[in-house]
């Protein structure tokens, strides 16, 4: 999916499939429930900043904006990915560096293993369905980066490899 030269229509279809899978599998809901627990104590009308790392198609940040609005928070969400092309599709617009996107989402190109944000830049940092792609040492590095840039907590939503999960994915796709 991150390979250069992939057909744009195929990439869009892949991102739409992933978003559908995130919704149907309950992955979106689990992330939002975790954010709700972590955000306890944030007053209505209070600002809430979230960094979403390896955002892919951006379905998680869009859901976070809806969640924050329902809770009465003012969302400031930064969605990052290493692929500018994927971010352009996610934002639904031609992306310029540090250009704000729709609904309180800010899109930026970033390397998940070396985030160029100061310590404690965000209330929360999230990463969904990316960790399993990394070698163990890089997974540890990513978790350290998420912890470093967040003030209040991190949410990592990922899969556990198993035969049941494998066959479920085959059936789903």
157-168: pLDDT as tens digits: 987 666 676 676
| 112-135 pLDDT, tens digit each | 999 999 999 999 999 988 898 899
Structure tokens belonging to residue 39: 């955000």
Nearest CA to 11 out of 101, 86, 97, 72 is that of 86
What is the DSSP code string of 39-55? TTTPPTT-EEEEEEES-
Rounded to whole angstroms, the Cα distance separating 141 from 53 reads 13
Q: Which residues pair with 124 in a beta bridge?
A: 50, 153
Q: Label residues 11-46 b or e (16+ Cβ within 10 Å = b).
A: beebbeebbebbeebebbeebbebbeebbeebeeee
Query: What average pLDDT does the chain have?
Result: 82
pLDDT in tens, 32-65: 999 999 999 999 899 999 999 988 888 889 889 9
Spatial CA neighbour of 52 closest among 41, 67, 42: 67
> Tokens for 137?
């040492």
Cα within 13 Å of Cα(80), Cβ side = 20
Residue 64: the pLDDT is: 92
Which uninterrupted H or E stretch holds 62?
helix 59-71
């Amino acid at each position: 999916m991150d390979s250069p030269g992939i057909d744009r229509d195929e990439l869009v279809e892949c991102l739409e499939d992933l978003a559908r899978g995130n919704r149907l599998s309950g992955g979106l809901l689990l992330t939002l429930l975790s954010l709700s627990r972590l955000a306890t104590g944030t007053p209505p009308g209070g600002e809430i900043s979230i960094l979403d790392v390896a955002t892919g198609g951006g379905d998680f940040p869009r859901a976070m904006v809806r969640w924050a609005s329902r809770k009465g928070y003012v969302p400031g969400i930064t969605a990052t990915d290493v692929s500018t092309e994927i971010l352009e599709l996610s934002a639904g617009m031609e992306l310029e560096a540090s250009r704000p996107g729709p609904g309180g989402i800010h899109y930026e190109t970033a390397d998940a293993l070396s985030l160029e944000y100061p310590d404690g830049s965000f209330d929360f940092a999230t990463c969904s369905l990316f960790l399993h792609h990394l070698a163990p040492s890089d997974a540890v590095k990513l978790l350290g980066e998420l912890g470093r840039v967040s003030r209040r907590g991190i949410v990592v939503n990922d899969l556990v490899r198993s035969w049941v999960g494998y066959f479920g994915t085959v059936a789903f796709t």
